[in-house]
Amino acid sequence: AFIGVGVPDPETARVFHQAGVMTQAGTFGATDVAATMPGGWEAYTPFLDAGADVLATDNVPAASIAIQRTTGR
């Protein structure tokens, strides 16, 4: 389920997860720009910490690193 653009509401993600539904959040352009800096993958961790399973982003390589390091997937 798409749960919005920006860091999602953790309660919204939790409700979907309880129903067995994965969630997707979109990132802002500023987040994608920040992710181009050294260590910039950390710009995506608030999205993942809030419960997003998938990120809609322009910077797939950095988002992939964030997912791997944050969730172990």
Q: What is the rounded CA–CA span in Å between residue 58 and residue 20? A: 27
Q: What is the rounded CA–CA span in Å between residue 24 and residue 47? A: 9
Mind listing the pLDDT tens digit for each residue in 1-56?
A: 999 999 999 999 999 999 999 999 999 889 999 999 999 999 999 999 999 999 99
Q: What is the rounded CA–CA span in Å between residue 65 and residue 29? A: 18
Instruction: State the pTM of this model.
Output: 0.91
Q: What is the rounded CA–CA span in Å between residue 37 and residue 58? A: 14
